[in-house]
Chain A
Amino acid sequence: MAVEPPDQRRAFLKLMTAGLGAFTAALAIIPGFGFLCGPLGRRTGRGGGNPLRVAAERDIKANRPMRVTAVGPHEDAWLRMEKVTLGSAWLVRTTEDGPIRAFSTICPHLGCGVDFDESSGKFNCPCHTSAFDLDGRCLGGPSPRGLDELETHVEGRDVLVRYQRFRVGTSKREPIG
Chain B
Amino acid sequence: MSADGAPRKSRLRDWLADRIGLEELGNTIRAGQVPGGASLWHTLGSVAAGLFVLEALTGIFLATAYTPSVTGAWASVAYIQDQLTLGWFVRGLHSFGSSALIVIAGLHLLQVLLFGAYRRPRELNWMVGLLLFGVVAVFALSGYLLPWDQKGYWAKLVEATITGSAPVVGTSAQKFIQGGTTFGNTTLTRAYALHAMALPALLTGLLVFHIYLFRRHGYTPKWSLSTEDAAARAVPAWPDQAFRNAVVGLLVWGVVAVSVIARHGAPLESPADPTSSYLARPEWYALPLFQLRMFFEGPLEIVATMIIPGIVTALAFALPFLDRGATNRPHDRRRVLTAAGLGLLAVTVLGVTALAKDARNPVYAKARAEEKTRGELARRLALKGVPPDGNVFRNDPTFHAREIWDDRCAGCHGLAGAGGEKGPDLKDYNSRAWIRGFLINPNGALYMGPAKIEKGMTAVDGTPEEIDALVEYVYAETGAPDADAARAGRGRDLLSPKDCDTCHDMDGEGENDGPNLKGRGTAKWVAAVIADAGHPLLFGDRNKMPRQRNKLTADEIEEMTKFVLALKGK
Contact = CB atoms under 8 A, between A and B. Distances in A.
B449 to A, nearest CB: 42
Given A79-B75, A81-B388, A29 B57 contact: yes
Nearest to B79: A78
B242 A75 contact: no
Contacts of A20: 243, 246-247, 249-250
Interface string B379-391: 0001011111000
Interface in B47-69: 50, 54, 57-58, 61, 64-65
Interface string B350-390: 00000000000000000000000000000000101111100
7 contacts: A14-B238, A14-B239, A27-B257, A36-B61, A36-B64, A38-B84, A79-B388
B85 A24 contact: no
A45 to B, nearest CB: 11
A80 B556 CA distance: 22
A28 B385 CA distance: 29
Contact of B58 (A32, A78, A80): A32
Contact of A78 (B93, B247, B250, B385): B385
B385 A31 contact: no
Contacts of A23: 250
A16 B382 CA distance: 46
Interface in B444-503: none
A32 B385 contact: no
A80 B385 contact: yes
Given A17-B242, A29-B57, A35 B87 contact: yes
A13 interface: yes
Given A13-B243, A14-B238, A77 B86 contact: no
Contacts of B85: 34-35, 37-38, 41-42
A77 B76 contact: yes
B387 A10 contact: no
B388 to A, nearest CB: 6
B79 A31 contact: no
A10 B34 CA distance: 14
Interface of B: 50, 54, 57-58, 61, 64-65, 72, 75-76, 78-79, 83-87, 89-90, 93, 236, 238-240, 242-243, 245-247, 249-250, 253, 257, 382, 384-388, 395
Top 6 A-B pairs ranked by shortest CB distance? Answer: A80-B385, A38-B85, A78-B79, A20-B246, A13-B239, A78-B75
Given A24-B250, A28-B57, A31-B90, A79 B72 contact: yes
Nearest to B240: A13
A21 interface: yes
Contacts of A41: 85
Contacts, number: 92
Contacts of A80: 384-387, 395
A32 B382 CA distance: 23
A14 B237 CA distance: 11
Contacts of A42: 84-85
Contact of B76 (A38, A78, A82): A78
Nearest to B252: A24
Contacts of A32: 57-58, 61, 90
Contacts of A29: 57
Nearest to B257: A27
A172 B418 CA distance: 68
A82 B386 CA distance: 11
Given A28-B54, A78-B79, A80-B387, A17 B246 contact: yes
A42 B58 CA distance: 21
Most central of B78, B89, B236, B385 by chain A CB within 10 Å:
B385
Contacts of B253: 24, 27-28
Interface in A3-53: 10, 13-14, 16-17, 20-21, 23-24, 27-29, 31-32, 34-38, 41-42
